[in-house]
Homo-oligomer: A and B are copies of this chain.
Amino acid sequence: MATLKRWVLRSRPQGEIRPENLELVEEQVRDLADGEVLVRTVYLSLDPTNRIWMSDQDQYMPPVGIGDTMRGGSIGVVEQSRSGRFKQGDLVNTGLGGWSTHVVANEGALFPVPQIPGVPVTAFMSVLGATGLTAWFGMCDIGKPQAGETVVVSAAAGAVGSIAGQIAKLKGARVIGIAGGKAKCDWLTGELGFDGAIDYKNEDVGAALDRLCPNGIDVNFENVGGAIMDAVVDRMNNYGRMPLCGMISTYNDNDRPAGPKDFARVLMHRLTIRGFIVTDFLPRAGEAMAELIPWVASGQLKWKVHVDQGLEGAMTSLQRLFTGDHDGKLLIQVSPEP
């Protein structure tokens, strides 16, 4: 009988995640019932929202229960099947399969990973997965950049930010990214074609925004929260839009993050702030994919993954999201591609 390994949430982090919060357990894979499939996890997605799910703060889905497998998106390959829909060797998206080497799932919870010539499997864990959909809906449905407008993206070298900024460029906007460190900023302005980049670790963000956004800011794609958000909001133009995608700078805090310091600006400049979660948009995923797939296939939309090897290191890998010690979308390769 096969065994699996999975990370179990043992306690909720207070501040930064600590080793005692998660435990790697090993156990036998249970027998399959009719309609069930055993999937060997190939790629596991690590995302800022993992930290939210570990807490019991008010959030958009129930937190991971103490004693439950840590939640996470994954793609895997079918090893055994008692389903008529999937056969051994099929590549499948397990949704939120979790931090586990294997997943037993009902056939109804799985969907096939499409094969597109020249597009690697990791694209479906990134630019053509939840990451790309988050960027597309946040930018196109909420931010709605018009040609010639100025768009600022925070955490711009991150998985979502790097795609969101490029989408705004493809829509004809001027795009300024905020990221940590010279290498990331160079990647934004060099390879991705951003019009400017601000290294928040070494620059005064407000002064840099004044320099790079002489006509103010029309769209703020907000990923970070805190002082960086305040600096951007303070420079937003009349009728500016702010898709609120995340506030990663605050996720290790025990206090709830505060809103913009100058909320009068929202009133005086008639700003729209809208929080969003990609899952709400999944029924409309086709609209986004209709633009994203051709952009990816043609190379107009660039994307990057950082792949760490092995589920054992998942906790260490997750830290990279908070230290910024990675580029683009962060994945763990749990087992080889088929």
Contact = CB atoms under 8 A, between A and B. Distances in A.
Contacts of A52: 268
Given A256-B263, A259-B263, A262-B256, A274 B272 contact: yes
Interface string A231-262: 00000001000001111001000001111111
Contacts of A277: 267-268, 270
Interface stretch (A8-16, A18-26, A53-61, A202-210): A53-61
Contacts of A265: 58, 256
Contacts of A59: 268
The number of times this chain is found in the oligomer is 2
Contact of A247 (B247, B257, B263, B275): B263
A294 to B, nearest CB: 29
A151 B150 CA distance: 35
Contacts of A58: 264-265, 268
Contact of A267 (B246, B260, B270): B246
Contact of A275 (B60, B245, B267, B274): B267
A273 B266 contact: yes
A60 B269 contact: yes
Q: What is the interface residue range for chain A against chain B?
A: 35 or more
Interface in A186-226: 225
B259 A269 contact: no
A177 B263 CA distance: 22
A164 B318 CA distance: 47
A103 interface: no
B280 A275 contact: no
Interface string A37-77: 00000000000000010000111100000000000000000
A110 interface: no
A239 to B, nearest CB: 8
Contacts of A270: 60, 274-277, 280
A92 interface: no
A271 interface: yes
A79 to B, nearest CB: 36
A271 B268 contact: no
Given A271-B275, A274-B271, A266 B259 contact: yes
Contact of A273 (B250, B269, B273): B273
A244 B272 CA distance: 10
The 9 closest A-B pairs by CB, nearest first: A259-B259, A259-B263, A267-B275, A266-B275, A256-B262, A259-B260, A273-B273, A272-B274, A60-B268
Given A225-B263, A250-B264, A259-B261, 6 more contacts: A52-B268, A60-B238, A244-B266, A267-B275, A272-B273, A273-B274
Interface of A: 52, 57-60, 225, 238, 244-247, 250, 256-277, 280
27 contacts: A52-B268, A60-B267, A60-B268, A244-B263, A244-B266, A246-B267, A247-B264, A256-B261, A256-B264, A257-B262, A257-B263, A258-B259, A258-B260, A258-B261, A258-B263, A259-B259, A259-B263, A266-B273, A266-B275, A267-B275, A267-B276, A269-B275, A272-B272, A272-B273, A272-B274, A272-B275, A273-B274
